[in-house]
Amino acid sequence: MIARIIESASPRALALLAVVTLALLVAPWLVDSYVLSVLIIVLYFAYVGQAWNLMLGFAGQLSLGHALFVSLGAYTSAALFIKFGVPPIIGVFAAIAMAVVAGCLIGYLGFRFSIRGVYFALLTIAFAEFTGIIVDHISWLGASSGLFLPVKNQQSNDLLNLRGSPTMFYYVILALTGLAFALCSWLLNSKLGLYWQAIREDQEAAEASGVPLFRYKMIAVAISSGLTGIGGVWYAFYYNNLFPETMFKTSQSVEIILGSVVGGVGTLFGPILGAFVLTPLGEVLTAATDGMHLDGVKSFFWGFCVAAIVLFRPQGLWPWIYNVLGLAPKKEGKR
C-alpha cells in the first residue's frame, strides 16, 4: 500500500510529505512546551477531523454530533479507569464499543427511515445534546460537576495507563493521526473505499451497479464513530477532566469538523491541513488580542475566516494548495 501511494504521487508531494513527517517526529526536541501543546491540539483535531471526514467525505452523511462519540469514548474509558482501575489500553476497547453502538444506532435509524441531508444532521445533533443532558444527571459519572482523573506525577511515562508527560501524549496522538491517515488511505483504494465513493457520488447509480447501500453506509458510520471514540479516550487522559455541559455540545462537534471542512472534505490531507491552519491561527489571534480586553475579537475573526473560506474556497484549502504548490503527479491520480 505504501508502495502504491509512493508510485502514484509526484516527487514534490513525496518530498513535502517526508519533510513534514520528519518535522513532526522530532518536534518535541525542537520546540518549547507551549508550541508543543499547540501541536498536540492540532494533531488531535487532525485525528478526529479525519475520523469524521470518513462519514461525510466517503459515505456522504453529514454528522454534526460527533462530539457524542468523543464523549462516549472519554467517559467510558475514564469511568473504567477511575472506578475499576481498568487501564486505558484495555478500556479503549469498551470505548470503541460504546461509540460504535451509538453510531450504528443513529446510522440505522437514519438509513432505515431514509433521513438525509439536513434532517440527518439534526438527528445527530439531537442525539448528542440528549445524551449530554442525560449524562449531566448521572451522579456516578460526576454529573455536572464533572469526572476527574487522578493526576500523578509526570516524571515517568506510563503508556498503558496513559499517564505521563506531554511529550508522551504528543507521540500517542501523532501515532493515532498517522494510523488514521494510513487507514483512510488504504480504505480509499479498497473495495470499501470505491463503494463508499460511489455512494457519495450517486447513491442510486451505485445501487444499480450492485452496491449494497445500507451495509456500506453502516460500515462507514461504524468506523467513523469507532475511530472518534479512540480519540475520546486520548482526550480524557490528556485533559483529565470531563464536563458533560461542554463535551456533548454542538459547538464541540462544530470544532471537530472545522478543520476538515476548511482543509477539504473528502480529501486525504484536508483534515490534517485544516487543523494545522486553524489551531495556530486561533492561538495567534489569542496572543494578538491579549492586551485588548476585547472578549469577542478573536472569535469574530475566527468566524470571519471560516466564512471567507466557505465563500471563496468551498473546495477547501487542500485542493488549492495542491495546485499552488504543484503537487500533482504527471499522471492524474488521487489527491
Partner 1 sequence: MSASVAAGSAGALTVRNISKRFGGLVAVSEVSFTVAAGEIHALIGPNGAGKTTTFNMIAGAQPPDTGDVLLDGVSLAGLRPDQICRAGVGRTFQIVRPFNELTLVENVAVGALAWTDDVAEARDHARGVLELLGLGDKKDARPSSITLPDRKCLEVARALATKPKLLLLDEVMAGLRPTETDRMVAIFKKLNADTGLTILLIEHVMRAVMALSHRVLVLNYGRLIADGKPEEVTRDPEVLACYLGAEAFD
Partner 2 sequence: MSGGLYLNVAVSGLLTGLIYGLSALGLSVIFGVIRIVNFAHGEMMVLGMFATLVLFRALGIDPLLSLPLVAAALFAFGYLLQDLVVRRVAHLADHMQFLLMASIAVMLISVCLMLFGPDAQNAQVSYGFDSFAIGPLLVDKVRVYAGAAALVVSGLLFAFFHYTPTGKAIRACGDNYTGALVVGLNVRRLYALTFGIGTACLGAAGAIMLLLVDVHPYLGPSYTLLAFIIVIIGGMGSLPGALLGGILIGVSEALAGVILQPSLKSAFSFGLLILVLLVRPQGLLGKVAR
- Residue located via cell numbers 470571519: 304
Question: Is 183 a residue that touches partner 1 (CB under 8 A)?
Answer: no
Using the minimum distance from each CB to partner 2, give the nearer residue, 32 or 295: 295
Q: Least Å distance between CB 43 and partner 1?
A: 28
Q: Least Å distance between CB 29 and partner 2?
A: 36
Q: Where are the beta strands (DSSP E) in the chain?
A: 147-148, 241-242
- Give, as ranges, the residues between 194 and 233 that touch partner 1 (CB under 8 A): 194-195, 197-198, 200-202, 204-213
Q: Least Å distance between CB 137 and partner 2?
A: 7
> Phi-psi bin for 117: left (phi > 0), alpha (psi -120 to 50), beta?
left
Q: What is d(CA 76, CA 132) in angstroms, rounded to the nearest whole number?
A: 14
Q: What is the largest CA-CA distance in the chain?
A: 61
Q: Least Å distance between CB 312 and partner 1?
A: 21
Q: Are 10 and 330 in contact (CB under 8 A)?
A: yes
Q: Least Å distance between CB 197 and partner 1?
A: 6
Using the minimum distance from each CB to partner 2, give the nearer residue, 68 or 96: 68
Among 112, 293, 330, 331, binds partner 1 (CB under 8 A): 331
Q: What is d(CA 261, CA 111) in angstroms, rounded to the nearest whole number?
A: 23
Question: Is 159 a residue that touches partner 1 (CB under 8 A)?
Answer: no
Per-residue b or e along 177-189, where b marks 16 or more CB atoms closer than 10 Å to that residue's CB = bbebbeebbebbe
Per-residue b or e along 126-162, where b marks 16 or more CB atoms closer than 10 Å to that residue's CB = ebbbebbeebbeeeebbeeeebebeeeeeeeeeeebb
- Contact partner, 307, from partner 2, partner 1, none, Cβ < 5-8 Å per class: partner 2
Which three cell numbers, joined as nine digits, stand for 298? 478573536
Which three cell numbers, joined as nine digits, stand for 234? 486520548
Q: Are 108 and 100 in contact (CB under 8 A)?
A: no
Q: Are 68 and 129 in contact (CB under 8 A)?
A: no
Q: What is d(CA 261, CA 257) in angstroms, rounded to the nearest whole number?
A: 6
- Contact partner, 115, from partner 1, partner 2, none, Cβ < 5-8 Å per class: partner 2
Question: Is 186 a residue that touches partner 2 (CB under 8 A)?
Answer: no
- Contact partner, 62, from partner 2, partner 1, none, Cβ < 5-8 Å per class: partner 2
Question: Is 11 a residue that touches partner 1 (CB under 8 A)?
Answer: no
Using the minimum distance from each CB to partner 1, give the nearer residue, 313 or 335: 335
- Contact partner, 207, from partner 1, partner 2, none, Cβ < 5-8 Å per class: partner 1
Q: What is d(CA 272, CA 297) in angstroms, rounded to the nearest whole number?
A: 26
Q: Least Å distance between CB 327 and partner 2?
A: 24
Q: Which positions touch partner 2 (CB under 8 A)?
A: 56, 62, 64, 109, 113, 115, 117-119, 121-123, 125-127, 129-130, 133-134, 136-137, 249-251, 254, 257-258, 261, 265, 294-300, 302-304, 306-307, 310-311, 314
